[in-house]
Structure 1
Amino acid sequence: MDQLPTLPTDCLNEIIEHLEKDKNTLHSCLLVNRLWCKISVRILWKDVWDYKDIYQQRSLGMATSILSTLVACLPNKSKENLHKNEITISTPTSKSPLFNYASFCQVLLICEIIKMVYNVLRDMPSVNSLSLQDRNCLVTNEIIKMFMNQTSLKKLTYMYNYYHCNLSFPYIFGVRNLSELRCGTNITSDFYYQLSQTCHNLQSISIEFHSNEVSNELKELISLQSNLKNLTLLAYYDNGWESIIPTITKHPNTLTKLHLCSDDDNLSLSFVSLFSNLQEIIFSFLESADFEDFKMLQFAKFPNLQILKIPYYCPKPEYIMNFLENNGKNLKNFYISENDRALSLSIANFCPNLKSLCVAFNNSEIDVLKTIFIGCQYLERIKVWCGGDYLIVKKVFETVANHASNNFCELKIYNSSNSAFISPEDLELFFVSWKDRTPKKLLTLIGINCFHYTYNSLVNEENMNIIKKYENLGIIKFKTRSYYEEGKEEECCY
């Protein structure tokens, strides 16, 4: 039999790279041939921690498999140290591994390593005087030291240390190419000192505040960055970011994305006005309050602002309206959960170039949705709440079919009730109306349930038959999504 033609390596790399989120298919690629195996292994290990979500616990078997592979990749000096302390962790093979798997890793979650080592070692009997905590620290330090010497690392997370593992960072050589850091203010200052020696090209920093004080070493690390673009500050339980404001405001020109997340309405917000080049702002306020400091921010101008998200509690609507009047012209994406008629109407007046919108309406405000469609002629996608006190989905369908612009292509519906809220007849009428639009454009319809994510009232047997019919006709594409999945995609809060 003639040998099948092979794709160029670069082309094959591109194709398999698109399977990054499909772990099952990637594992199948390992078995094709040596080249496919080499490419697939690199992608699988790029973010080896990415195989669970918030509802799933990492299995002990998976943790053991990852840990044993990492131990096999340790340099001989580290293996000798484990052997000297009578710590035995079985490896997949007695020989050297086929690949240096650690060198493929671009993401390092230090807290995950600490937890993984603890879960694997806790059931292993101790054969010497070392305590479980001492063994955990020894193994964890050797693995982290190996990772810290890999130049492949792009993202590093170290935000807390639940197991009180005593980590040391005497030499950090491989992080000079690090582009993203997620950290906490309670991490040892030596960690930040060592990072600051070689790591000067961070583009994204996320800081979780565990106290109101910030170490000088962390401040120095932030000050040394030459191209900081994205900054996230998370402050809960009466902790605040005031002490770090003088440091972060040293980057007024490079910063383009800012995310502030807090449960304290007294935290400073006015400093945001210093970052005039911001393209994206997210305010994740987790408590209902007036946020009076936003009063100073409402008249600030951000000429490059394209994305504004306020996914939880909102400052006073009049403050947001003034903010939109000053900054809404260039907005492309606006996400707000506030239910206020005047604020919703202001979107049509101040945000003519919107492409994506999420907003809540009362069940009597279908006219406001119509006004937004008329005023925002570039709108491509919208998310609305339906059911209960919110809009009637039948009226939403009618408004979308009759008033959405020619650019419109995606409708997301949050089901805020536990009852079925669309009949098969109304669903089909909407699809027929969409089919008859000129120009014809494929519509993506996404049903999101705000309650039990296993249930969605759009998906009963009759409705599903209609949906499949119009999917086959190329009129619509239908998806269901849980509230968690939707929030994860929006990445409104970490």
Structure 2
Amino acid sequence: MSCQLTTDCLDEIFEHLENDKSTLHSCLLVNRLWCKTSVRILWKNIWRFKYIVYREQHSLKVASSILSTLIACLPNESKELLYKNKIFIQTPTSKPPLFNYVNFCKVLSIYEIVKLVENVLSNEPSSSVNSLSLKDRNCLVTNEIFKMLTIQISSLKKLTYDYNQFIPKFSFTYFPGAKELSELRCSSDIPSDFFYQLSQICHNLQTIFIEFRNDNVSDELKELISLQNNLKSLTLIANISSWANIIPALTKHSNTITKLHLHGNNYNLPLSFVNLFTNLEEIMFSFDYGADFGDFENLQFANFPKLQILKFPKRYPKPEYVMKFLENNGKNLKTFYIYGSDNALSLSIADFCPNLKSLFVGIIYGKTNILKTILSSCQYLESIKVWCGKSYSGEERSYLSEKEVFETIVNYSPNNFCELKIYYSSNSDFVSPVDLESFFISWKNRITKKLLRLIINKNNNIDVNEVNKKIAEKYENLGIIKFSIEALYDDDIFYLL
């Protein structure tokens, strides 16, 4: 007797496959129920396929496929309008769509839609009978798709609206699905009526990202923030402007916000307001070299009893300020991430952060005693990411060598340690095959050990040669390690709206 999985079971299983595009595509061919379930998952966030904004051959094929499906879903009056203006975009079939794909959408990126239409239409053969310019055709198609999305999306969860001159004015007047919006990513220069319309229907945002492009923050944006009932995560990005004018609107949420990310490359950005958020569990200060940490002097004495994650992914304040901050808040930290190196600051990690599970730190070449002290003091440490090789300034062996790291990890890491990430920022030679295999053998012979994940964060100038890869494969097959190579610029370093 055959057993048929219920729709609820399939939904739960397929949700775990959300990022496994190839597997979901294969599920389309099983039967109608599997097809509908997998289509729903694929279309929940169709914009996650970021390559649709580029113009390579494969990317263009994907973009054309997405756009043709959206065109097929348009109401008849929109299709007739495109036809009258001699805009002909081929649909997958002449029959009506099998599903209401638009209704499955939970994530909407306005920029992605604009670029999708631009890239496809700019590669269409020009027609002598079409009197509209390419810009006008793009605008017409984009507006019709917008109208359809605002009417047919029943439950929107995430919206990205990064305003610029190429994005047409967008209205939420007829967008009931935005009532359930939980995440908004936007720029402060969006027309104020957008914020006003959104504030009338959307009061349950839990995550807000704002990029500040001028100092004139609209009252409508402030009102939108103030009207939220349970805001938990806040990201503020200031390039040439400041977030100072938005701070008063944030005070209502001082008890609910648990995650705060601050990004900037501007001077004299206010930081002391962070004191307001006493329930913070995660803080990131991501500042470029043009920015100023001067206001951190006032923040060093703040107390955040629930803080578990602290990150300085680009540069950090004066070491003495950070050390004082760790003295007040390090006891409960589970993750600490600091870009660069300072001997006293690195040693203070051992003194003030005994419960760390994950650490990223730079340690000067030859100072293995600092790494030993950290490993000996942080007995819950499971993962560490360290710099190796030369610094950006080109100094010879500015950071610990791989061999130094390997020997120290084998001999001093705590029992639960299971992940080592090696980070390179400039030209450097990877560890020799002899030293690499010696490390694997030593790890194998440890009395207490777990399978070790060795991850190389590399730039294009780091050559992990075939000999090293074969050695890693050998010990992977023995169940000793798991080896992988990742791009240099991961999510910890660079942030994109």
Q: TM-score, normalised by structure 1?
A: 0.93
Matched with 1:204 is: 207
Matched with 2:467 is: 462
The answer to whether 1:218 aligns with 2:221 is yes
How far 1:365 sits from its partner (Å)? 1.5
| SS of residue paired to 1:250 | helix
Q: 2:173 aligns with which of 167, 170, 174?
A: 170
Matched with 2:394 is: none
Q: Which amino acid aligns with 1:19?
A: L
Matched with 1:444 is: 453
Matched with 2:30 is: 32
Cα 1:311–1:479 shift into 2, 3 Å = same
Matched with 2:395 is: none
Q: Which amino acid aligns with 1:70?
A: L
How far 1:416 sits from its partner (Å)? 4.1
RMSD between aligned alpha carbons? 2.2
Matched with 2:95 is: 95
Matched with 1:42 is: 40
Cα 1:353–1:54 shift into 2, 3 Å = farther
Matched with 2:309 is: 307
Matched with 1:60 is: 60
| SS of residue paired to 2:453 | strand
Which residues in structure 2 correspond to 1:148-163 (within 5 Å)? 148-149=150-151, 150-163=153-166
- Residue deviations 1:51-82, cap 9 Å, x none? 23699656333222211111211233433443
Q: Using the alignment, how far apart are the partners of 1:129 and 1:54 within structure 2?
A: 27
CA contact (8 A) 2:54 2:119 kept: no
CA contact (8 A) 1:148 1:172 kept: yes
Cα 1:80–1:178 shift into 2, 3 Å = same
How far 1:437 sits from its partner (Å)? 2.0
How far 1:35 sits from its partner (Å)? 2.0
CA contact (8 A) 1:137 1:167 kept: no
How far 1:468 sits from its partner (Å)? 1.5
Q: 1:391 aligns with which of 394, 400, 409?
A: 400
Q: 2:9 aligns with which of 5, 8, 11?
A: 11
Q: Which amino acid aligns with 2:105?
A: C
Matched with 1:474 is: 479
Q: Which amino acid aligns with 1:105?
A: C
Matched with 1:433 is: 442
Q: 1:276 aligns with which of 272, 275, 278?
A: 278
| SS of residue paired to 1:161 | coil
Deviates more, 1:406-415 or 1:9-18: 9-18
Which residues in structure 2 correspond to 1:122-201 (within 5 Å)? 122=122, 123=124, 124-125=126-127, 127=129, 129-149=131-151, 150-201=153-204
Cα 1:16–1:126 shift into 2, 3 Å = farther
Gaps of 5+ in 2: 391-397
CA contact (8 A) 1:151 1:176 kept: no
Matched with 1:380 is: 382
Deviates more, 1:470-479 or 1:414-423: 414-423
Q: Using the alignment, how far apart are the partners of 2:227 and 2:442 within structure 1?
A: 57
How far 1:15 sits from its partner (Å)? 3.1
How far 1:84 sits from its partner (Å)? 4.5
How far 1:33 sits from its partner (Å)? 1.9
| SS of residue paired to 2:440 | helix
Matched with 1:104 is: 104
How far 1:115 sits from its partner (Å)? 1.7
CA contact (8 A) 2:417 2:449 kept: no
Q: Using the alignment, how far apart are the partners of 1:81 and 1:395 within structure 2?
A: 68
Q: Which amino acid aligns with 1:466?
A: I
Q: 2:338 aligns with which of 322, 336, 348?
A: 336
How far 1:291 sits from its partner (Å)? 1.5
How far 1:153 sits from its partner (Å)? 1.5
Count of aligned positions: 485
How far 1:171 sits from its partner (Å)? 2.1
Deviates more, 1:427-436 or 1:179-188: 427-436
| SS of residue paired to 1:396 | helix
Which residues in structure 2 correspond to 1:256-295 (within 5 Å)? 256-287=258-289, 290-295=292-297
Deviates more, 1:43-52 or 1:345-354: 43-52
Q: Percent identity?
A: 63
Matched with 2:72 is: 72
Q: Using the alignment, how far apart are the partners of 1:101 and 1:55 within structure 2?
A: 20
Deviates more, 1:70-79 or 1:161-170: 161-170
Q: TM-score, normalised by structure 2?
A: 0.92
- Residue deviations 1:182-236, cap 9 Å, x none? 0011211121111111111000000011111111111111111001001111111
